[in-house]
Amino acid sequence: MKPRATLATLTAASLLSLAQPVTAAPPPEDWEAVLQAAQGQTVYWNAWAGDNRTNRYIDWVAEQMQAEFEVEVTHVKLDDTSSAVARVLAEKQAGNDDDGSIDLVWINGENFAAMREQNLLFGPFTESLPNFALTDPDNNPEVVTDFTLPTDGYESPWGKAQITFYYDSAQTDTPPQSIDALLGWVKKNPGQFSYPRIPDFTGSTFLKQALIELTDQNDALYQPVVDSEFEDITTPLWRYLDALHPHLWRSGRSFPDSGPHLRNLMSDGELSLAFSFYPTDAAVAVREHELPDSVRSYVLESGTLGNVHFVAIPYNSPHKAGAMTLANFLLSPRAQATKQSLDMWGDRSVLAINQLKESDQALFEQGDSHPSALPADALANTLAEPHPSWMTALQEAWLQRYGVN
């Protein structure tokens, strides 16, 4: 997910001035023609495949798309979304403008910024999706903004993520409620916490969460990185990590691979405190007997970083009608409710649920809350994502300072 060089000089102004790529028929606004053209198409959906819950949801989506729209969905499983970005860029450089290998990509943040900068996306198409209106975009700017950048119709939202901590209440009575408190807790409980190795997106998000809490120059994080200011703004973060690392799992000499790896370490009893970018992650794991019943979830007192994740269509997709049909299905109440269910994935919906018709609202009713899940109002304080250039800059600086095998 981490293309770097293209973001070094990224500015919001340059993104807004991009020329639109040539779009293929049928036009997105002719939805009946889109549905007709989609029949019989195979959509190659490039999506991160690092968690079995995500994969089983995409498998379910593929079954529904075939049955309802006669569209075949092939999940092209990715370890790192940046590989899809690189593939589309290579196809463009080779002059392949009509027969690309990717029809839809799960994307956001720095990868979206990189693809927009390189003019690699088809659109605008999102406002033409009939189900997009169900997100109430006029009152929910998060569904049309990606890491401070306007999506301009080149991405369609399909889920929400937010950092959520979880702990084993049988081992920990009072978990730390801030980044500062985390350092004190780790010193008292050495080896019981870690974060994923950079450039994993969950680990990179932890860096941003820490920086937001530690710096007194938060406004700068929502503008493109200025090299001359980077060291001054990030000094508190590096000082903090220098103090934290010796007390982490394996003394900070190595790091878990991903968020699911953190969960596995909790399951094995090697950690007693962890975090995920999916708020229901711990509750689903307890239900599936991957974590003990004593695990509980919480968020930090000052809030935690969250964002919306999207799907986008490469400019040279040969199956744009099928891709748009898939993006629209992902926004349907049935697909969103199934995705949010703890029996499937637990990923939060982007729909304005209270504005849906009653029968659709009923799809989201899941009975009593799980004791390992967050209270309903726990995610009210969501911290906004910094400008995408900050993720790239932080990853590069971390690797220079702490890169390990």
The pLDDT value given to residue 392: 94
Q: Residue range 306-332: average pLDDT? A: 97
Burial of 181 (0-12, 13-18, 19+ CB in 10 A): middle
Say if residue 344 is in the same domain as residue 222.
Answer: no
Tens digit of pLDDT for each residue in 160-197? 999 999 999 998 889 999 999 999 999 999 999 999 99
Same domain, 193 and 341: no
Q: Which residue blocks in 94-249 are alpha helix, DSSP H?
A: 110-117, 179-188, 201-214, 227-244
- Supply the CATH number for residue 233's domain: 3.40.190.10
User: What would the mean pLDDT of 74-81 be, rounded to a whole number?
Assistant: 94
Residue 101 lies in a domain: yes
C-alpha closest to that of 232 among 242, 244, 217: 217
- Kindly indicate the confidence band of residue 368, based on its pLDDT and cuts at 50, 70 and 90: low
Same domain, yes or no, for 397 and 334? no
Whether 347 maps to a domain, the answer reads yes
Question: Residue 186 belongs to what domain range?
Answer: 164-298+384-402
Reply yes or no on whether the pLDDT at 225 is more than 50: yes
Identify whether 374 is part of a domain: no
Whether 66 shows a pLDDT value over 90: the answer reads yes
Q: Do residues 119 and 213 share a domain?
A: no
40 lies in the same domain as 130: yes
The partner residues of 232 in beta bridges, in order of sequence, read none
* Mean pLDDT, residues 363-380: 82
Q: Within a domain: residue 198?
A: yes
373 lies in some domain: no
Q: Which of 192, 198, 234 is nearest to 213 (CA)?
A: 234
Residue 303 counted as domain residue: no
Q: Are residues 103 and 192 in the same domain?
A: no
pLDDT at residue number 377: 79
> In total, how many domains does the chain have?
2
- Of 8-17, 121-130, 267-276, 289-298, the one with minimum mean pLDDT is 8-17
Is 24 part of a structural domain of the chain? yes
- Summary mean pLDDT of the chain: 91
Same domain membership, residue 169 and residue 156: no
User: Does position 367 have pLDDT exceeding 90, yes or no?
Assistant: no
Whether residue 150 is preceded by a cis peptide bond, meaning omega within 30 degrees of 0, is no
Same domain flag for 115 and 261: no
Q: Is residue 179 part of a domain?
A: yes
Instruction: Examine the domain organization and report whether 252 and 394 are in the same domain.
Output: yes
- 293 and 344 inside one domain: no
Do residues 93 and 15 both lie within one domain?
A: yes
pLDDT score, position 379: 86
Q: Give yes or no: residues 186 and 276 share one domain.
A: yes
pLDDT band at 4 (very low <50, low <70, confident <90, very high): very low
The secondary structure element, H or E, covering residue 160 is strand 156-162
CA angle, residues 316, 129, 112, in degrees to nearest 5? 50
Name the residue among 402, 403, 388, 398 with its Cα closest to residue 82: 388
**pLDDT over 70 at 400, yes or no:** yes
